Structure 1
Amino acid sequence: MSHARATHLTRRGILAAGGVLGLGAVLAACGDDDAKSGGSDTKATGKASGPWTFKDDRGTTVKLDKVPANIVAFTGVAAALFDYGIPVKGVFGPTKTQDGKPDVQAGDMDITKVKVLGNVWGQFNVEQYAALAPEVLITTTFDSAGTLWYVPEESKDKIAQLAPSVAISAYDRKLDVSLARMLELAKSLGADVASAKVADAKKRFEDASARLRAAAKAKPNIKVMAGSASQDLFYVSGSNLSLDLEYFKALGVNFVEPSEKAKAVGGGWYESLSWENVDKYGADIIMMDDRSSTIQPADITEGTWKKLPAVKAGQVIARSPEPILSYDKCVALVEDLAEALEKAKKVA
């Protein structure tokens, strides 16, 4: 039990904005019995053939003799590719909850039809990965060094020997930029990015963004705090570095901003507060980390939390620090904040 808690808190150190911590967990096996890949409502064009080349956000160019079919990806990336009609063979990262249901980062994927190589931080079964005969590994990166998200430090060299890797950056850029990059990657893999479904999703995202801009302009005094909860600490994210918060701020949202000094312990991403000091900042709306590694608002028992004006006013919404980078999945993230701003009362 103590080991589980230590692992949880290590994962929490990564947290508040999807910040990066040193990769230091023990490599372990974790898999699903079914290695089949899932389908999707969006069809690939079937025209992607011949040599494949893609330059990723690390500046690394991957060249293959043909468009890769045996793809292994971080769960959230796999979920985005699924929305574009690109199936993967295996995934690593939060895929299923303790009760066996799909994790929030799995999106619409049928998790019974992919091989789960690791379900939590530090887990990546290299033998099962090799058995999939991977042609490319795709994940995100949350730092300027291009560290592969959820690829364990201890086994990264072995993993790298089995297939080239592609990384889409989620670091210090706005959400719309990463969305465009994921769409570009999906297109290279054969997705029909000109389909009505993709066009509709992009239009809904743009409409939601316009709505959020209008809501923020109408209520400039409403203060929004991005928070995340663990057993011992509450984390307040700054709007810099995080692709979702940087995008929302560009649309005019007024965020609580911890000082650079306060965020230094969190690698520049967030400030850590004890639950006794959770009221340090006045906030009218609180956006809470929805990842399964965190404590959700309904399960927070701290009295200091319950006394916060935004909590008492019911002005708490979910936030996805690691959004699934498809337009379809990001629409709700923008709409939910827009609606919260439209309805919000000044309480702090």
Structure 2
Amino acid sequence: MSNARATHFSRRGMLAAGGALGLGAVLAACGDDDAKSSGSDADASKAVATPAAGPWTFKDDRGTTVKADKVPSSIVAFIGVAAALHDYGVEVKGVFGPTTTKDGKADVQAGDLDVTKVTVLGNEWGQFNIEKYAALAPDLLATTMFDASTLWYVPEESKEKILGVGAPTVGISVVDIQLDKPLQRMLELAKSLGADTTSAKVTAAKKAFEDASARLRAAAKANPDIKVLAGSASQDIFYVSGSNLSIDLEYFKALGVNFVEPSADVLKASGGWYESLSWENVDKYKADIIMMDSRTAAIQPADITEATWKQLPAVKADQVIARNAEPILSYEKCTPLVTSLAEAIENAKKVS
């Protein structure tokens, strides 16, 4: 994969981090992707939402109450939101954000969504094809938010034109709260759009998440000396995450996970998100387990060639696990993230 090469980052670029730098968010837009066929057939293995006739209302995390005469059915969403809604049987017509990789495969943030059956309005930061958006006759635009009012991946420079199409917008907050809160909010949004949130499938998925959380709490309590570091890799810099602000790390910390992280003073330079280290200084923090950003824009552990990385005790002990710094907000997708960390802590050797 190509390496990130930008060196100056906006606040939104920092917020893309989910606790480590959102490397893809800072790359310049380089044209719109070709449209995929619009519309979407629900996966046969998924429950299919059945929207009620209406009227429809939903209060989002801006405190804005959006209303419509009928339940939205022509939905456009940030790719992670679309993936979460898909898990609840709610299908979208268009998506924006990291949807496909350079080889045309579904990005990790697409989850189980069939990306060939949606219209892709933009695959990178700054891309949003307004003409294709308007052609979908959208009746809802849904995305996440990394601050109190900014809709994630909706370009500031074209925001007014996008909003001018007339579709109501919904934002779900994913900053400085614990993971279980936005999970519940996404469930509420799906319910408002016709999902059966009391189905056996959804009930089982929620219980599995709660069980995994209990397992992680027990693992952390039984192994209090095991130190965990969250990182993200680019060509020249290794980013060490702080455990505040990010919904997953805040949740794991509340369950007792012992994070090793930069001090608050060091984190100030990035607005509280991360510390940038050269590869020569990658051993600054001693950890027994390293969680590495699994998003496409980050270099993955198997592709890191720096000798200093390979000499880290956690790397030598094969105690490196994946972390999706922008979790897909369905219980089905978040349970494996919790389980993976619980297993790693249960089986970790003390190497720091």
Tell me if both proteins adopt one fold, taking TM over 0.5 as the criterion: yes
Q: What residue in structure 1 maps to residue 94 of structure 2? A: 90
CA contact (8 A) 2:21 2:232 kept: no
CA contact (8 A) 1:284 1:347 kept: yes
Note the residue ranges of structure 1 that are not aligned, 5 or more in a row. none
What's the CA shift for 1:121? 1.3
Instruction: After superposition, give the CA deviation of every residue in 1:151-199 in whole Å (9 maximum; x if it has no partner).
Output: 1111111111112210111010000011000000000000010111101
Secondary structure of 1:265's counterpart equals helix
CA contact (8 A) 1:9 1:230 kept: no
1:37-52 counterparts in 2 under 5 A? 37-40=40-43, 41-46=45-50, 48-52=52-56
The CA distance in 1 between the partners of 2:8 and 2:97, in whole Å, is: 14
What's the CA shift for 1:50? 1.3
The CA distance in 1 between the partners of 2:216 and 2:58, in whole Å, is: 33
Equivalent position amino acid for 1:17 in 2: G
Structure 2 residue 126 is the aligned partner of structure 1 residue 115: no
Q: What residue in structure 2 maps to residue 69 of structure 1? A: 73
CA contact (8 A) 1:26 1:154 kept: no
The CA distance in 2 between the partners of 1:293 and 1:69, in whole Å, is: 31
Equivalent position amino acid for 1:152 in 2: P
The CA distance in 1 between the partners of 2:122 and 2:309, in whole Å, is: 33
What's the CA shift for 1:71? 0.2
CA RMSD of aligned residues (A): 2.3
1:19-168 counterparts in 2 under 5 A? 25-26=28-29, 28-40=31-43, 41-46=45-50, 48-143=52-147, 145-162=148-165, 163-168=167-172
What's the CA shift for 1:3? 11
Q: What residue in structure 1 maps to residue 224 of structure 2? A: 220
The CA distance in 2 between the partners of 1:161 and 1:18, in whole Å, is: 33
What's the CA shift for 1:299? 0.5
Instruction: After superposition, give the CA deviation of every residue in 1:180-222 in whole Å (9 maximum; x if it has no partner).
Output: 0000000000001011110110011011001101100010000
Equivalent position amino acid for 1:141 in 2: M
Change (3 A) 1:336 1:110: same
Task: Give the TM-score normalised by structure 1.
Answer: 0.94
What's the CA shift for 1:8? 11
Aligned length: 346
Secondary structure of 1:6's counterpart equals coil
CA contact (8 A) 1:51 1:64 kept: yes
Which 4+ residue blocks in structure 1 deviate beyond 6 angstroms? 7-12, 18-24
What's the CA shift for 1:86? 0.2
Q: What residue in structure 2 maps to residue 258 of structure 1? A: 262
The CA distance in 1 between the partners of 2:318 and 2:146, in whole Å, is: 32
Choose 307-316 or 261-270, whichever is displaced more: 261-270
What's the CA shift for 1:146? 2.1
The CA distance in 1 between the partners of 2:6 and 2:50, in whole Å, is: 46
The CA distance in 1 between the partners of 2:8 and 2:95, in whole Å, is: 21
Q: 1:15 aligns with which of 9, 14, 17?
A: 17
Instruction: After superposition, give the CA deviation of every residue in 1:220-259 in whole Å (9 maximum; x if it has no partner).
Output: 0000000000111111111101000000001000001211
Change (3 A) 1:273 1:55: same
Identity among equivalent pairs (%): 69
Task: Give the TM-score normalised by structure 2.
Answer: 0.93
The CA distance in 1 between the partners of 2:215 and 2:8, in whole Å, is: 37
What's the CA shift for 1:7? 9.3
The CA distance in 2 between the partners of 1:44 and 1:31, in whole Å, is: 28
